[in-house]
Structure 1
Amino acid sequence: MVGAAAVALVAGGAVAAGARAEDDVRCLVSSAREFERARPEAVGLDTDRLNDALRFAKDRNRLNVQVFRNDCLVGVGPGNELTGGTPWNIWSSTKSVVSLLAGIAWDRGALDLRAPIDKYLPPGLGDTGHRSITVQDLLTEASGLRVSAFTEGITGVFPIDPNSAVQALGVRQDHPPGTHFSYSQRSVDLLSYVIELAINEPLQDFAQRELFDPLGIRRSDYYWARDRSAHTYGYAHLLIPPDDFARIGLLVANEGHWGTMQVVSSDYMAMARTPSRTNECYGYLFWLGPGCAEIPDFLPHDTYAISGLGLQNVFIIPSLHLTVMWTGIFGNISRQGLAGAVQNQAELPYEFFRKLLAAFLHPPIPDPGPYIEPPAEVDPRGLIDTDMLLAVFGIGPDAYPGCNVFNCLNEPLAAPFSDTPPGCVIVVCLGSEAPGIRE
């Protein structure tokens, strides 16, 4: 199905003299289950070359790929029919969803981005240093908390975290808040808790009503994991179907606008896409600009992305009116072993976008040539921090007093996996009783 402008073009088969099809064809986003579609040629792309890019992505472990131009779905991966309705862990792309919720709470006047979290935390929870962290510090990953990405995440993958927000308040601060970028997982768990306190209701209830419902994402579509104190994880563990993940990407690409609704204000979206003081590649839990995270370095300067482990991405290029969503299991190729595979995640996006931009009837940039892999500098051994792992058991300098896997601040803890619905295991939800899109 195509929008009114696309119908006029595709049915009529012609455009005004001197006009380009891609300037005239537009589709509408809505809460309907199906995206509006257009022929690739109607939006300035060659079908055969576009399909070549999509086949390349499939051969590189991309389980689902969706290419939009002017909000029209113009290209889908060969396996999309099998995977589009299946919830998949989008890992750190969850962070960008939390950013959208922070924006909605800010729009409602419930959340002050400049305020220290002291304003929202219960009295006595956390020390002065942690309570001085601002909401904006959490949004820009400038909390100053010590980072060990693998160790911070493993206790959520094997769900033994007693209370991820309280655990964050026990992690040492290596830097004063607001002075240093450090990609902390715990800090976004803390942010999701702060938003919940600010709005005075469970985060997922707020998310469903204010964000997912307007987009046509049903509560039965997805699973968003909670820790054993029932606090929603912010850093990862939103398992959502690619068809719904694409909706979130289109909302962002449309500056928070969806149909007749402004779901998130354009003012907030502009701030979210503004480089932070501590990292020019990072805004409010979004990656910004070519060469940042997995964004190929030859793409236009206004490119930004939602990014998760294993290459769960939405790439948005406003100047090309282009949005690409994909999910899968890594797929990048490195000649430098594990260190190269961990560090150099841009190889697959680079080669895919070479092919995709070559599919334009009027290519916007010259071919940048093959990917050249930089030297690996990451030491995989540095991904594990023993102190942070022991903290979950109430041991060591990163433990919060009175919080461990058996008890946290004298509050009852649910059993591990008790929050997990049937058929959901870490990465995916499968089976007739599992969440997912059924029609």
Structure 2
Amino acid sequence: MRSLLVAALGLALVSSPVAAEPAWPVAAPESQDVSAEGLAAMDTAVRAGTFQKITSVLIARHGRLVHEVYFDEAGRESRRNTRSVTKTVTAMLVGAAVARGDIASVDAPILPFVADHGPFDNPDPRKAAITVEDLLTMSSLLECDDDNSFSRGNEERMYLIEDWVKFALDLPIRGFPAWIPKPADQPYGRAFSYCTAGVTTLGAVVQAATGEPLQAFAREALFGPLGIEGEQWQTSPTGLAQGGGGLGLRSRDLLTLGQLLLNQGRWDGRQVLPEAFAKAMTAPHSTVDPERGDYGYLVWLPTYQVNGVAHPAWAMAGTGGNKVVIVPDLDTVVVVTTENYNVRNPHGLADALIAGHALAAMK
């Protein structure tokens, strides 16, 4: 979410008490087959402004922290506004709720969990068929597209409404003109449409299913076991923690979340998320477009070209080029936090830094 809009709307920030950060074993880059010289060149380029306003770069390889540099005065303890990286956290919370039996499966319809926000405008029986997996894959039939300023479901319109869940489910069913393939004609039988309101609603589904405020369940099921403390949630005018964006976490916290996916749900010897769900998160379930490739459960599935070699990756991504990139074949997690909110092609800048420097330093 945009920080200026958040300030204008006066959205609350809910913080958890500050404590120790996740324990990361630290290793020299060369001991993990990472070029120290290459990393030094990366830091020089960042400080020279080649990638605009980068605030931190962290790299873990083989489960060890080999690079951690902060390029702003805030430093290690700063809670970074993760923007839409938060969406992947919400997917993890769905996995935790499924593991507890609070949500039967990803095939569960969402409407029974959020019916108290109704009645809803534009009634349509297809709304009752929307499932948890539809929201996880950005492929519900709601007319919601953050990339289209004309969309009724555009994220910016949601912030003008008090009840964000009602906003989402008041939306009409989207249409498919001749130039847009219908879901049945697309890969995986789904039509991707980037929709923050849908993920906000998914957070409300988790909250209703678990019987706990979303932030309390996150602390119990995810952040506590990972050693993450001091998280800062943004909330809607009705008090719902925003599962769609704006969660404040330290850069090391982000690295831990990336490593959790790389380890298929395990952290420090404990299975925090079910292995099967972690694998499902990083498997393709819908296609964004030919350029950006496939999409998992609120996880992007890009491929990075490094010195002529293709490296399939999993990515948590937010506005400004904030990214947590997991590269399984290199056993690597890269965190890049930025403040590139008003520059051209911020995701391209972050990706150039990741591919051209961070991953290029791997031996």
Displacement after TM superposition at 1:301 (Å): 4.2
The 8 Å contact of residues 164 and 227 in structure 1, kept in 2 or not, is answered as yes
The 8 Å contact of residues 155 and 195 in structure 2, kept in 1 or not, is answered as no
Aligned: 1:104 with 2:93: no
Residue of structure 1 equivalent to 2:107: 114
User: Counterpart of 2:265 in structure 1: which amino acid?
Assistant: G
Matches of 1:267 and 1:33, distance apart in 2: 24
Displacement after TM superposition at 1:125 (Å): 3.8
Which protein has the bigger strand share?
2
The 8 Å contact of residues 56 and 352 in structure 1, kept in 2 or not, is answered as no
Secondary structure of the residue aligned to 1:83 is coil
Distance change (3 Å), C-alpha of 1:120 and 1:252 = same
Q: How much is the aligned-residue C-alpha RMSD, in angstroms?
A: 2.7
Aligned: 1:206 with 2:224: no
CA offset digits 1:225-263 (Å, max 9, x no partner): 111111121221112222222221221221110112111
Matches of 2:269 and 2:275, distance apart in 1: 14
User: Counterpart of 1:109 in structure 2: which amino acid?
Assistant: G
Matches of 1:144 and 1:296, distance apart in 2: 37
- Report the structure number with the largest CA radius of gyration: 1
Q: Which moved more, 1:93-102 or 1:194-203?
A: 194-203
Displacement after TM superposition at 1:314 (Å): 0.6
Matches of 1:183 and 1:353, distance apart in 2: 25
User: Counterpart of 1:274 in structure 2: which amino acid?
Assistant: A
Distance change (3 Å), C-alpha of 1:358 and 1:243 = closer
The 8 Å contact of residues 160 and 227 in structure 1, kept in 2 or not, is answered as no
Residue of structure 1 equivalent to 2:39: 50
Residue of structure 2 equivalent to 1:92: 84
- In the alignment, structure 2 segments of 5+ residues that lack a partner are 1-19, 176-181, 184-188
Residue of structure 1 equivalent to 2:297: 284
Displacement after TM superposition at 1:204 (Å): 0.8
User: Counterpart of 1:49 in structure 2: which amino acid?
Assistant: G
Distance change (3 Å), C-alpha of 1:47 and 1:296 = closer
Secondary structure of the residue aligned to 1:346 is helix
Secondary structure of the residue aligned to 1:183 is coil
Matches of 1:78 and 1:98, distance apart in 2: 27
Amino-acid identity (%): 28
Matches of 2:168 and 2:308, distance apart in 1: 37
Secondary structure of the residue aligned to 1:186 is helix
Matching of residues 224-239 of structure 1 within 5 Å: 224-239=233-248
Residue of structure 2 equivalent to 1:186: 197
Matches of 2:202 and 2:68, distance apart in 1: 34
Q: Given the alignment, which residue of 332, 349, 352 partners 1:350?
A: 352
Displacement after TM superposition at 1:81 (Å): 7.5
Matches of 2:225 and 2:94, distance apart in 1: 17
Distance change (3 Å), C-alpha of 1:106 and 1:249 = same
Aligned: 1:69 with 2:49: no
Matches of 2:76 and 2:161, distance apart in 1: 30
- In the alignment, structure 1 segments of 5+ residues that lack a partner are 1-30, 333-337, 363-439
Displacement after TM superposition at 1:54 (Å): 2.8
Displacement after TM superposition at 1:223 (Å): 1.3
Displacement after TM superposition at 1:325 (Å): 0.6
CA offset digits 1:35-88 (Å, max 9, x no partner): 211111101122122111133234322101101101111112253774221112
Matches of 2:306 and 2:114, distance apart in 1: 40
Distance change (3 Å), C-alpha of 1:209 and 1:348 = closer
Residue of structure 2 equivalent to 1:420: none
Aligned: 1:132 with 2:124: no
Displacement after TM superposition at 1:113 (Å): 0.7
The 8 Å contact of residues 95 and 285 in structure 1, kept in 2 or not, is answered as yes
Residue of structure 2 equivalent to 1:359: 361
Matches of 2:43 and 2:129, distance apart in 1: 47
Residue of structure 1 equivalent to 2:178: none
Q: Given the alignment, which residue of 248, 251, 257 partners 2:266?
A: 257
TM-score (norm 1): 0.66
Displacement after TM superposition at 1:118 (Å): 2.8
Matches of 1:357 and 1:248, distance apart in 2: 19
Residue of structure 2 equivalent to 1:215: 226
The 8 Å contact of residues 55 and 78 in structure 1, kept in 2 or not, is answered as no
Secondary structure of the residue aligned to 2:334 is strand
Q: Given the alignment, which residue of 315, 319, 343 partners 1:309?
A: 319
Q: Which moved more, 1:266-275 or 1:176-185?
A: 176-185
Residue of structure 1 equivalent to 2:169: 169
Secondary structure of the residue aligned to 1:281 is strand
Higher relative contact order, chain-length normalized (CA < 8 Å, sep 6+): 2
CA offset digits 1:336-377 (Å, max 9, x no partner): xx8xx35x73244224422234423x3xxxxxxxxxxxxxxx
Residue of structure 2 equivalent to 1:423: none
